[in-house]
Amino acid sequence: MKEFNSLDDILDFAINEEQMAADFYTDLAAKMKNQEMKDTFEQYALEEIGHRTKLEAIKNGKAYKIADSKIVDLKIADYLVEVDTEKTNISYQEALILAMKKEKSAFKLYNDLASATTDAASKKVFLMLAQEEAKHKLRFEIEYDNNILTEN
Amino acid sequence: MERSEEYIKNERKKEWRVELQKKTKAKDRMTIERVQMPESAPEERIKSQRIEVNKGLTAEEAMREATRCMDCVNPTCMEGCPVSINIPKFIKNIERGDFLQAASVLKETSALPAVCGRVCPQEIQCEQRCFYVEKLHQPAVAIGHLERFAADFERESGKISVPELAESNGIKVAVIGSGPSSLSFAGDMVKLGYDVSVFEALHEIGGVLKYGIPEFRLPNAVVDVEINNLRRMGVKFITNFIVGQTESLDDLKEEGFKAFYVGSGAGLPRFMNIPGENSNGILSSNEYLTRVNLMGADAEDSDTPVLRGKNVVVVGGGNTAMDSVRTAKRLGAEKAMIVYRRSEEEMPARIEEVHHAKQEGIEFSTLTNPIEYIADENGRVKQVTVQKMKLGEPDASGRRRPIPIEGSEYTIDASVVVVAVGVSPNPLIPNSVKGLDVSRWGTIEVVKDKMQSSIPEVFAGGDIVRGGATVILAMGDGRKAAANMDIYLKEKYLSQKVEH
């Protein structure tokens, strides 16, 4: 497991993760055949940049807190097959699956890191990061529930 | 069609209406019980795909039900109708026994009343806004049953009038798809004098009315009468012609078509993307219903049979799921079951369809979700692993969303699975026409109420714009598009200034 020496170290790692996610979506956007899916992935990339900016503000001293209530997990992505990111005609349903799964794995990573650390301050940062990812996932899950599972 | 408050009020003051209002006191109207739609017996109707479940009202039943209607000063029922049918006017015509006139009132705004009387969800539209429901908390006037009665009466009387047509202006207009929105568009445009050709990919005209809705709910003969009317009015129908493949939109332009209405619908099946979903024996509801409804796969000697099974599982809770599971029963399934992720309260299917399904012995497994399909050694589905769900706390939108209960998994035997979880817009036109603005959902973007796309000569409506809606809304789109395309074409080709 990755070693972290300071809170800034943790945040730098998370900021880089968000940037990598943004780059991933930008690359996908460039590959898509249809304009509407290019637009979709470009928007996802922008959302990831937004998450990065939020973390940078925290690194620069902005206060953060962890909500008491647990973020709802609809677990929609847990049972779906992986999307082939090599293809150039990803549908919006697949785009949402892809996004839900990415947020889920990021959530899991931070949650695991929180469990593995004994330092209280670090644990708090990891939990905050996990909660952020859970919120991002929920946004995609709700969109999926409302628009894809319309008759299920 | 004028639909101002003043017009409605003046209509209500017509002598014959006033006479009817005086003839029966309100309290006497209120004592009449809502009519029950006569139905074919469940054990009989499940023997055939072609026996209509609802048999329709008799003239006496219809007149009695029409007497329940209060002829309200402020007919809120009309606000519940997406195409603003003058509901009290058609109902009062039934009350006085002028059924042909009642049908003609329906046709003022609805191109397919016999269809809408059968498949419109009146219980959440006009009937929900009925005085009886809103003020008396009693069952609504059976507006849908009465609509069907008037339309059927006209059809069976053989006295179907063909509307007056404007002089031909020679302008060629192409319609892509032949579902409800295309048919209503074609009807309006031919009346205005245009040369209308409808291009249909399948071998039959009618779109979802034919391939999607089984004959036990909507007999094809009912749809055919409407299509023949359009034919008599001069609409040309070209089947087995896929615009975007057989010929492109540009090819059609070269052949002289000046404008296009895209009503290509939402015929792209949606799957769940769970493991094992590619196994044999798992079909989309589109394929399943099309094979039966359009290709006669319910006949024992069919050249294009469909898989039949002892245990048929249908995934979903909409009307399409109900149609599929009831079709499976009629094809001989011993056990036909609905598996639905939410509770019965959230089912998008009409209450009537759920009720009929239960009468026919359909099993319901609600708050249950498939998570994997298990196939045999030949790759044919044999079981579905499902998981129980529970409804979570209401979220910000007030909706209680289903959440899996871990450890609650179990398997259901299934020889055939029909996936009816929703549909997506047909991708052919959105993907093949350059310059057409398309949403991320694959729907064509149009200017609201004008139905004009980003390409000025291309208009669109129905499910290709809405993603999935009712027949009546699709028809409404067709009418709006016709009115606006008429303005566009007159200004462009006939040098007529049209007041907007």
Mean pLDDT of B121-141: 96
What residue has token string 């599972």? A149
Question: Rounded distance, CA B347 to CA B365, Å?
Answer: 12
Q: For position A7, what pLDDT does the model report?
A: 86
Mean pLDDT of B404-421: 97
**Residue B397: pLDDT band by 50, 70, 90 thresholds?**
confident
Q: For position B499, what pLDDT does the model report?
A: 59
Q: For position B500, what pLDDT does the model report?
A: 57
The answer to whether the Cβ–Cβ distance between B442 and A91 falls below 8 Å is yes
Q: For position B362, what pLDDT does the model report?
A: 98
* Residues contacting A65, CB < 8 A, separation 6+: A128
Question: Rounded distance, CA B443 to CA B427, Å?
Answer: 8
Give me the domains of chain B, ranges plus CATH numbers.
5-157 (1.10.1060.10), 172-267+425-493 (3.50.50.60), 269-423 (3.50.50.60)
Mean pLDDT of B116-132: 95
Least confident piece of the model among A63-67, B133-137, B423-427, B481-485: A63-67
* Residues contacting B199, CB < 8 A, separation 6+: B174, B175, B176, B177, B178, B238, B241, B242, B243
Q: For position B400, what pLDDT does the model report?
A: 86
Please say if the pLDDT value at position B2 is more than 70: no
Chain B residues 217-276 within an 8 A CB cutoff of chain A: 270, 272-275
SS3 A39: helix
Mean pLDDT of B359-373: 98
Reported as a single tens digit per residue, the pLDDT across B67-85 is 999 999 999 999 999 888 9
Written as one string, the DSSP assignment of B115-158 is HHHHHS-GGGTTGGGSHHHHTT-SPPP-HHHHHHHHHHHHHHHT
B176 contacts B469 by C-beta, under 8 angstroms: no
Mean pLDDT of B4-11: 88
The tokens describing B238, both together, are: 């070209």
Max CA separation in chain A (angstroms): 50
Q: A130 CB near a chain B CB, below 8 Å?
A: no
Task: Work out the percent of chain B whose per-residue pLDDT is above 70.
Answer: 98
Residue of A133, A132, A143 lying closest to B399 (CA atoms): A143
pLDDT mean across residues, chain B: 94
Least confident piece of the model among B109-118, B260-269, B276-285, B351-360: B109-118
* Sign (positive or negative) of CA dihedral B30, B33, B38, B44: positive
Q: Which helix (H) or strand (E) holds B267?
A: none
**Which among B317, B392, B468 has the least Cβ separation from residue A152?**
B317
Chain B: residue whose CA lies nearest to A37:
B440
Q: For position B160, what pLDDT does the model report?
A: 82
Reported as a single tens digit per residue, the pLDDT across B326-339 is 999 999 999 999 99
Min Cα–Cα distance to chain A from B366, Å: 10
Mean pLDDT of A57-73: 84
Please say if the pLDDT value at position B3 is more than 80: no
Residues of B in contact with A36 (CB under 8 A): 438-440, 442
The tokens describing A88, both together, are: 């150039």
Q: For position B82, what pLDDT does the model report?
A: 86
The interface predicted TM-score (ipTM) is 0.86
Contacts by B6-9 with C-beta closer than 8 Å and gap 24+?
B8/B75, B8/B78, B8/B86, B9/B73
**Residue B469: pLDDT band by 50, 70, 90 thresholds?**
confident
Number of H helices, E strands in chain B: 21, 16
Task: Work out the percent of chain A whose per-residue pLDDT is above 90.
Answer: 56
**Which among B422, B441, B468 has the least Cβ separation from residue A92?**
B441
Mean pLDDT of B362-378: 98
Q: For position B26, what pLDDT does the model report?
A: 95
pLDDT mean across residues, chain A: 90
Please say if the pLDDT value at position A119 is more than 60: yes
Mean pLDDT of B216-236: 94
End-to-end CA distance of chain A: 40
Min Cα–Cα distance to chain A from B470, Å: 14
DSSP 8-state class, residue B54: B
**Which residue stretches of B192-267 are H helix?**
208-211, 220-232, 249-254
The answer to whether the Cβ–Cβ distance between B341 and A152 falls below 8 Å is yes
Mean pLDDT of B320-331: 97
**Residue A1: pLDDT band by 50, 70, 90 thresholds?**
low
The tokens describing B212, both together, are: 């999607």
**Residue B30: pLDDT band by 50, 70, 90 thresholds?**
very high
Q: For position B497, what pLDDT does the model report?
A: 63
Give me the domains of chain A, ranges plus CATH numbers.
7-147 (1.20.1260.10)
Q: For helices A35-59 and A120-147, give the axis angle rounded to 10 degrees.
A: 160
Mean pLDDT of B417-432: 94
Mean pLDDT of B306-314: 95
Strands B195-199 and B268-269: unpaired
Q: For position B498, what pLDDT does the model report?
A: 63
Residues of A in contact with B277 (CB under 8 A): 81
Reported as a single tens digit per residue, the pLDDT across B134-181 is 999 999 999 999 999 999 999 999 888 777 889 999 999 999 999 999
The tokens describing B147, both together, are: 């609509």
